[in-house]
Amino acid sequence: MSDTVFTRCPPKRIGFISTRFHGTDGVTLEARKWADILKKMGHDCFWMAGLLDAPAGSGYTAPLAFFNHPRVAALQGRLFSVTKRNREITREIQTLKDLLKDEIYRFIEQFKLEVLIPQNIMAIPMHVALGLAMTEVIAETGLPTIAHHHDFAWERERFTLTAVNDYLRAAFPASLPGVEHVVINSMAQKELARRCSLPSAIIPNVLDYETPAPGLDDYNRDVRQEIGLADSDWFILQPTRVVARKGIEHAIELVRQLKDPRAKLVISHPAGDEGNAYMQLMRDRIEEAKIDVRFIADRVGETRGRTPEGRKIYTLFDVYPHADLVTYPSHYEGFGNAFLEAIYFGKPVVVNTYAVYARDIGPLGFQIIAMSQFITREVVAETRELLTNTALRANWALKNYQLALKYFSYAVARRKLTARLANLFGEGF
């Protein structure tokens, strides 16, 4: 399907819907980027979620939409790792679905919405009732919809065994007229076509590369000092949550093998929503490796501010300028926000060449330190070279930025979103 567009769709009132728009998870970040792009195109954007941080006058909070709402979490815990559900469970799913449908209808009516953008809720079944509610609302209203899919059920082992396969086939994702399906990588596109016979467009994760990255200022200049690093230390940044698929054990092993007291690993985010077992494993690995690791999640937030004790809270974009190297040793990623951010700030990056990277990003020619599931002597040597060779780092940074500007900028998403709207409203072709 061509993305060539000759005219732009007239301004629309667009509603984003998900379980949460809050924090720095990938879905929230990408939704905000889309909204930024759409607003600059003249559209009005509104938000509905169970956990919501939205501009005043543009948000609708529906607590039952949050996947960690006690009632929702209790239900979800009975739907997977089993193969059968009783009538009570089915009744609860339907009850929650109907309550959530009412919330979505109120959101639509309150903001007079003309387009819906469900964010991942028709892809990964972290909230089965919400996905069903969203599907039925689209079927009943016929509202033009761009369904943005970041992760599918078949990509997560924890959703393999289930008592709600009938619902998954109906709504994750749904096959409905007037829905433009969008995925973030070519593997998802092919699997969606193979499993569900649904066409989709690829809109990769993007960053505003047209705008230069922020640097040091009077507020963030003291980040190293605040986390106890000297100017001469090697600031090796792991800018992800502490969850198993991020492969942080590889970053620990890399620092261990560098065997240099200047090498300090800094982990910016807390544990995710998958339990604390992996965090304990990491602490055990760190103790065995006898390396210096700083967990700074308590000092990194969405916005600048102060802790209750009066210490500064920095954003992740305050931290990046100080890094000498970024580690990104994930076993699996839907795309790779941290990779795009490292390139944005001109930092060399160690990448465990996960499948999506190998297929969609690597062939574009980015200069990285590539590893494949374990740290080799060559990876360690190349890392040491980059940490000590500022000219080489600068050359890599320039080339990588130019490639990212070409393939992953806001301009790319703007063109593809315009095409999706044109398909829905029949304009511009």
Query: Mind listing the pLDDT tens digit for each residue in 136-156?
Result: 999 999 999 999 999 999 998
C-alpha pair distances (Å), 163 with each of 69, 82, 159? 21, 6, 10
Tally Cβ neighbours within 10 Å of residue 212. Answer: 9
Residue 182 and residue 108 in one domain: yes
* Burial tier of 213 (Cβ tally within 10 Å: 0-12, 13-18, 19+): middle
Q: Which residues contact 181 (CB under 8 A, 6 or more apart)?
A: 147, 149, 173, 192, 198, 199, 200, 201
pLDDT of amino acid 273: 58
- pLDDT higher at 232 or 426: 232
Total number of residues shown for the chain: 429
Residue 239 and residue 290 in one domain: yes
Binned at pLDDT 50, 70 and 90, residue 272 comes out as low
pLDDT of amino acid 271: 79
Within a domain: residue 309? Answer: yes
pLDDT surpassing 80 at residue 9: no
Residue 39 and residue 171 in one domain: yes
Give 323-367 pLDDT, tens digit per residue: 999 999 999 888 989 999 999 999 999 999 999 999 999 999 999
Within a domain: residue 1? Answer: no
Residues forming a β-bridge with 300: 314
Predicted TM-score of the model (pTM): 0.90
pLDDT of amino acid 213: 95
d(CA 272, CA 329): 17
Within a domain: residue 385? Answer: yes
Tell me how many domains the chain contains: 2
pLDDT of amino acid 2: 45
Binned at pLDDT 50, 70 and 90, residue 270 comes out as confident
Within a domain: residue 216? Answer: no
Within a domain: residue 415? Answer: yes
Within a domain: residue 393? Answer: yes
Residue 257 and residue 321 in one domain: yes
User: Is-contact 292 259, C-beta < 8 A?
Assistant: no
Give 306-321 pLDDT, tens digit per residue: 999 999 999 999 999 9
pLDDT surpassing 70 at residue 305: yes
Within a domain: residue 7? Answer: no
Binned at pLDDT 50, 70 and 90, residue 1 comes out as very low
Residue 145 and residue 126 in one domain: yes
Q: What φ, ψ does residue 183 adopt, rounded to 5°?
A: -120, 170
Q: Please give the average per-residue pLDDT across 21-29, as a whole number.
A: 89
Q: Please give the average per-residue pLDDT across 175-188, as a whole number.
A: 96
Residue 155 and residue 243 in one domain: no
d(CA 11, CA 302): 29
C-alpha pair distances (Å), 259 with each of 150, 234, 371, 425? 38, 12, 19, 60
Q: What φ, ψ does residue 100 adopt, rounded to 5°?
A: -70, -35
Binned at pLDDT 50, 70 and 90, residue 95 comes out as very high
Residue 388 and residue 419 in one domain: no
Residue 344 and residue 414 in one domain: no
For residue 389, give both structure tokens: 């060779």
Residue 46 Ramachandran class (φ > 0 left, ψ -120 to 50 alpha, else beta):
beta
pLDDT of amino acid 6: 41
Give the mean pLDDT of the chain.
94
Q: Which domain holds residue 290?
A: 223-407
Within a domain: residue 211? Answer: no
Percent of the chain surpassing pLDDT 70: 96
Residue 236 and residue 202 in one domain: no
pLDDT of amino acid 428: 54
Residue 258 and residue 357 in one domain: yes
Residues forming a β-bridge with 179: 145
Residue 57 Ramachandran class (φ > 0 left, ψ -120 to 50 alpha, else beta):
left
Task: State the CATH number of the domain containing residue 86.
Answer: 3.40.50.2000
* Burial tier of 157 (Cβ tally within 10 Å: 0-12, 13-18, 19+): exposed
Residue 50 and residue 148 in one domain: yes
d(CA 260, CA 165): 52
Residue 249 and residue 199 in one domain: no
